[in-house]
Amino acid sequence: MHKPTTGIAAILLLAACGGASEPGAAAPAGDPPFKTTVIADFDSPWAMTFLPDRRMLVTEKDGRMLLVSADGKAAAALGGIPAVDSASQGGLMDVVLHPKFAENHLVYFSFSEPRGGGKGLALARGRLVDGADPRLDAVSVIFRASPDVGGGGHYSGRIAFAPDGHLFFTSGERQKFDPAQDPQATLGKVLRLNDDGTPAADNPLAAKGFAPAIWSYGHRNLLGLAFDPAGNLWAHEMGPRHGDELNLILPGRNYGYPIVSNGDHYDGRIIPDHDTRPDLEAPKLFWNPAISPAGLMIYGGDLFPQWKGSAFIGAMNTAGLVRVALDGVSARKADQWDMAGQRIREVEQGPDGAIWLLEDGQRGSQGRLIRLMPR
């Protein structure tokens, strides 16, 4: 349920510098270069996107998609959302607009779908109908990750449109390990689709016998996906026990999981590090100990000119916001801010250049929508 707040709440934050690819020592606490305003409160929100008129669509884990006013004081649940299996890590997940939304009003979203053979990740789209009874009309599932499996973890489900209009979609390996390397499974993959959900015609691995939608493989649980201004595709994924990664996603590459990782299995079994297999694509950055990354935004606004081109990542383990400096196809850890102990699930740039965060709303975190503005 949406719980709008009309007041402004300050949040105590601590600033800390990141290290290089390996863990670095924390810098002394200090004031961050932004001020925070709590805009609204939600029940376990997962993702958000802005409409052209500055209203927002916000998804909640249990299966609600909310149309939220620009000031956060009013929200309406959209009709037309299909049944969602929200057990464990499942739920209503990402939401993005079609690049030509102003013309076609198409909204794309991902969710964990109950199925006869278990459950699975689904990509759907519908047409936003505004007014007194807002809804998504003509909703259809346009892609289903396969195979269906039991259990409720590692769906991934992030969506990003490329500059050329193709749709990229992340599919986690569902905590089953081996599907990430299976050429016929679409689990543990980055997928490249047409905007109707069909595989793009020239994907790089189809001629080698892979499922035709696959763009890259050997992934674990990808919870952030974004293009930079040069058209490079970046994604982050949670490592097993530590070893979270930021990757530059290249066509046809194998990113190694579960063969290699800079983390290890939760039961203590060792996974060889990436440097033992130079034939597999290594991450541009990794975090050990883990930050549990969620949400990825590459900043392009004017309110924080010093951060143009930086990547921003929500952290659900260290409970904060992480900035990564990007330089072409290189990446460097830059800043990390403790967001008062709150798990950050989503990071977005607003139409005015402000940075917007959604708290996770689980495991002690609240669920607030927060706007960051320069001090």
Residue 157: name the closest of 128, 199, 189 by CA: 189
Residue 223: name the closest of 345, 141, 123 by CA: 345
Q: State yes or no: is 154 an active-site residue.
A: yes
Cβ neighbours of residue 121 closer than 8 Å, sequence gap 6 or more = 110, 111, 112, 113, 144, 145, 155, 156, 157, 171, 172
Name residue 254's beta-bridge partners.
Answer: 217
242 within 8 A of 265, measured Cβ to Cβ: no
Q: Which amino acid is at 302?
A: D
Residue of 2, 98, 105, 154 marked catalytic: 154
Residue 111: name the closest of 169, 196, 72, 32 by CA: 169
Residue 358: name the closest of 314, 322, 317, 319 by CA: 314
Element (H, E) at 102: helix 101-104
CA 250 to chain centroid: 18
Edge-first strand listing for the sheet containing 34-41: 34-41, 368-374, 355-359, 344-349
- Cβ count within 10 A of residue 170: 29
Q: Which amino acid is at 79?
A: G
Phi and psi at 272, nearest 5°, equal: -55, 145
- Cβ count within 10 A of residue 270: 9
Place of tokens 């569902």: 174
Q: Which amino acid is at 226?
A: A
- Residues known to be catalytic: 154
